[in-house]
Amino acid sequence: MNQALITDQEFALFQRLIYKIAGINLADSKKALLVGRLQRRLRELRVDSFSDYYRLLGSGRHPDEQQTMVDLLTTNETYFFRESRHFDFLRDEVLANRNPPRSFRVWSAASSSGEEAYSLAMVLAEALPATPWEVYGSDISTQVLARARAGRYPLNRNEGIPESCRRKYCLPGERGSEGTFLIAPKLRQQVRFGQVNLTQAINPAIGSFDVIFVRNVMIYFDNETKRKVVANLLPRLLPGGHFIVGHSESLNGITDRLSMVRPTIYRKPE
């Protein structure tokens, strides 16, 4: 099968579809990225063109195919302790000043393959040795959530992890898994993962959180979608809780229900 090319009209169809499903604005400059990520899928399905693939997505013949497409187009690169100042703030400002001490929950709302969620777990494990805590990690992609639940990463991915945490919470790969490390079971059991589409209503059953990290995902949304995402998340944030976005992101003009503590870090009034 020859490599399928995509026309401007076909690309526009996929732009509208991924926006409808996930709220993501796929810029015109991302055409090559879309082709690169979907090309192999077309070959696997023996589909000749992107138009044919688009029709297949809506045909009902492959009911899980839309999720497969979302997985392929939304997988993003991440790493442990990315934008480390946020973890310092959590440890030094939020956890150090808790009053009264009680159970503590953090939501990694765009957790990708789990590095952020496990980084948060390491901070909580170190800071709250005698207090119950939980990290909830979510993503729209089932593919990355499977990797997150497994908790196994290439050895060269551990560079951002503080040495003390590396010794405690990262187990070297055993026979057959050389060149990898595994997040220790005692940490993994306090990290739960689930699929959440942030642009849709959030199931209240996931509970409430003291801190919500929603970093490096809203850069893909237009302002209308950002407002919807923040409005969906805020009912799950406890009064006095913190809402943290990525270093290249801002909530300026997006919501008036949070006050800025410092750039990228916001607080819900008590």
Residues 244 and 265: beta-carbon distance below 8 Å: yes
From residue 227, alpha-carbon distances to 23, 28, 216 in Å are 11, 23, 15
* Catalytic-residue membership of 105: no
Helix, strand, coil percent values for the chain (each to nearest 5): 45, 15, 40
From residue 111, alpha-carbon distances to 54, 162, 196, 238 in Å are 28, 20, 10, 20
User: Within 13 Å of residue 213, how many CA atoms lie on the same side as its CB?
Assistant: 33
Catalytic residue among 16, 43, 88, 139: 139
Catalytic residue among 8, 16, 28, 37: 37
Report the SS3 class of residue 80.
coil
Give the end-to-end CA distance of the chain in Å, rounded to a whole number. Answer: 60
Residues 121 and 190: beta-carbon distance below 8 Å: yes
Q: For helices 31-45 and 65-74, what crossing angle results, to 10°?
A: 140
Do strands 133-139 and 104-108 pair parallel, antiparallel, or not at all (unpaired)?
parallel
Dihedral over Cα of 44, 47, 49, 50: its sign: negative
Dihedral over Cα of 82, 151, 173, 166: its sign: positive
* Catalytic-residue membership of 52: no
Active centre residues (catalytic) = 37, 139
